[in-house]
Amino acid sequence: MKIIMYSANWCSDCVIAKKFLDDQGIIYRHIDINNNVEATELIKKINNGKRVIPTFIINNKTYVNPGISKLSEIIMQ
C-alpha cells in the first residue's frame, strides 16, 4: 500500500492522523506543506483552490481529511 500524507504541524487533524498512522506502524510518506509551494499548489488543485489538510493519496486515490474512522477503514481494506 502506498500512502502519501500532506499536512502541516499546526493542523490538529493532521497531528491526530499522523499519530494514528505511527501508532499502527503504518509506513507512509509525509509531506509538510509549510514552505513547500509545490505541495501547497497540489493540495489547492485537489481541493478546488482550498488548502484542506490532511489530504492523503492512498494507492493513487485521493482522500481529503477523512477522519480516523474512515482512514482506518481505507487502510485496513
Sign of CA dihedral 69, 60, 55, 21: positive
> Which pLDDT does position 73 carry in this prediction?
95
Q: Summarize the confidence of residues 33-42 as an average pLDDT.
A: 95
**pLDDT cut 90: percent of the chain above it:** 95
Which domains does the chain possess?
3-75 (3.40.30.10)
- d(C-alpha 25, C-alpha 45), whole Å: 30
| pLDDT over threshold 90, residue 77 | no
The values of phi and psi at residue 58, to 5°, are -120, 115
What one-letter code names the amino acid at 44? K
pTM score, whole prediction: 0.92
Residues 44-58 have pLDDT tens digits of 999 999 999 999 999
